[in-house]
Amino acid sequence: MDEDNSQPQQQENEKSRFLEFRPIPYGTKRDGELVLNRYSSLVTNGYEFPGAQAMLYAAGIKSQEDMRKKPQVGVASVWWEGNPCNMHLLDLGKTVKEGLEKNGMIGWQFNTIGVSDAITMSNQGMRFSLQSRDIIADSIETTTCAQHHDANISIPGCDKNMPGCIMAMARHNRPSIMIYGGSIKGGYSERLHQPVNISSCFEAHGALMYGKISEADLDDVVEHACPGPGGCGGMYTANTMATAIEAMGLTLPGSSTTPAESPAKMRECLRASEAIRICLERDIKPRDLITRESFENAMVVTMIMGGSTNAVLHFLAMSHTADLDLTIDDFQRVSDKIPYLADLKPSGKYMVADLAEIGGMPSVLKFLIHANLVNGDIPTVTGKTLGENCKSAPSLDPGQDIIRPLSNPIKSSGHIRILKGNLAPGGAVAKITGKEGKVFVGKARVYNGEPALISSLERGEVRPDENTVLCVRYEGPKGGPGMPEQLKTSAVLMGADLRNVALITDGRYSGASHGFIVAGHIVPEAQVGGPIAVLKDGDIVTINAETNQISMSVSDEEIASRLKDWKTPRLKVTRGTLAKYVHLVGDASHGAVLDMF
């Protein structure tokens, strides 16, 4: 060794709450070469851990030279069969591993679990979706740290995958890159002569319930909505998170908008090895990139693109894991000054695959950097700044209409609003594009759980003759449990063209939801005695996106009296993984994280 490495180097932020690993100090050289296997060499060099070395030989290391010198990179794919968002990720991982080996590194593929939000939507399986985010983070942290990997490349596909991967990066804080699995192709219904996607299925169901289409029409939509692998194709939660994470500098340029089945996605997987080597050589770590400045970019891009309300929940969790102090009020601050420009589904016309045709996210970021809306000076996984990454991207064609000019926005401020009031003292998150209005006043109709509301809709009890605020409660992080998404409800209302209805909940709505809705996150949730627990049928509810208020026409004294008579319901789950989740999870206004202690 050219330098003495007896003094350990502090790697983690001083206030980090995670187990500290002490690698060989950065800058150490061996035989005149920079040591890149700073973590794995603790078990692969010397004679202290012969059993570990024997196991690694058995797993595929071919020589003592490789054992002692090559960095070991974990390739974590959120792969499983049965979900188009994730079914191709194992193959992408194999391509990543191929690139690593060509660039003098050792790649170890491993998997973590996932949950399909579309398959579990509005059934009991959705209770497991949000907690999968934390299991993914746990899995990647566990394997990375236990196996002494020197770096990590994570390959997510579905909604909770992306924040789970980033949370893991913030925990182990070793050189890391995220590769988004890419978007699905758009579908087409020959019977209805129109493009379709996963959201179309839920809306078509609502149209069927209210007699607007036939069963054969619905069958055709369902059969053709998802024509292959890739994440759901609108600016739903998966693409919201992917585009925001690219704006944070945690992916290669274009990762978020490169289609799943394109040759460009395979080329990206090969190029990832070059970038991870740069990160190893320059000691570029996740916490160098996950900063207040990069979160500002993420929030701006979410507003520009019309992204999912789930971004609020996930950004808060990611920032908490990185020991940053992002709050829900930051989202309102950004929303007040950033316009909504992207004509993308669910509220707009186009899919992310269409965005890829006009230059993808690099072109969008180039435009936003030039407009001084996005910080192009932040560092990225390429070793260059975000602005340098986008410099060679084509400029957006003035003739395209996917991304509106600043002079003609869809909405002059952001579509995500943070609402507070006597119905949500701790905050609620609204998704209001302005197309359905900015103020809604209606009589409450209260349901203890989404199944009760779905049954009411199926019986045709929600009619278009008066303004109604449908309230679904006991669906929060603890009450759900798992804060389930309620796309089925919002999609049914859109499909049935019930435009005089607003929805509020202590649960969540999907990134595919649209219409005049409060996308939930009402805090405190009903299960812990929040005011939403004592909302009654007939109470007048006001949702005001101009003053950022959500309130019920009930006095503070009456609310206190109702809460005095209210009794905490029995938890729905008392054993198994969800029971553990219920006892650990915090509230939605802090990201529904499990480590609030």
pLDDT of residue 45: 96
pLDDT tens readout for residues 370-406: 999 999 999 999 999 999 999 999 999 999 999 999 9
For residue 3, pLDDT beyond 70: no
pLDDT of residue 35: 97
Q: How confident is the model at residue 78 (pLDDT cuts 50, 70, 90)?
A: very high
pLDDT of residue 227: 95
What does pTM read for this prediction? 0.94
Q: How confident is the model at residue 519 (pLDDT cuts 50, 70, 90)?
A: low
Please state, in angstroms and rounded to a whole number, the distance separating the CA atoms of residues 164 and 351. Answer: 24
Q: Which residues contact 77 (CB under 8 A, 6 or more apart)?
A: 89, 90, 92, 93, 109, 110, 111, 112, 154, 155
For residue 17, pLDDT beyond 70: yes
For residue 462, pLDDT beyond 90: no
For residue 494, pLDDT beyond 80: no
> Do the beta carbons of residue 595 and residue 17 sit within 8 Å?
yes
Helices (H), 16-88: 41-44, 50-59, 64-69
For domain 71-185+229-390, the CATH superfamily is Response regulator (3.40.50.2300)
* DSSP 8-state code for residue 127: G
| C-alpha torsion sign, points 452, 456, 458, 459 | positive
Q: Which whole number is the average pLDDT over 353-361? A: 96
346 or 301: which carries more pLDDT confidence? Answer: 301
pLDDT tens readout for residues 255-308: 999 999 999 999 999 999 999 999 999 999 999 999 999 999 999 999 999 999
For the chain, the structural domain boundaries read 71-185+229-390, 187-224, 416-590
pLDDT of residue 6: 39
Q: Report the topology of domain 416-590.
A: Glucose Oxidase; domain 1 (3.50.30)
For residue 187, pLDDT beyond 80: yes
User: 106 by DSSP, 3-state: which?
Assistant: strand
pLDDT of residue 436: 65
Please state, in angstroms and rounded to a whole number, the distance separating the CA atoms of residues 276 and 273. Answer: 5
CA atoms within 13 A on the CB side of 318: 29
Q: Which residues contact 211 (CB under 8 A, 6 or more apart)?
A: none
Q: How confident is the model at residue 4 (pLDDT cuts 50, 70, 90)?
A: very low
Name the token pair of 523.
């805090």
Q: Give catalytic residues, as residue numbers.
A: 510
468 or 436: which carries more pLDDT confidence? Answer: 468
pLDDT tens readout for residues 18-69: 888 889 999 999 999 999 999 999 999 999 999 999 999 999 999 999 999 9
Q: Which residues contact 277 (CB under 8 A, 6 or more apart)?
A: 36, 103, 104, 105
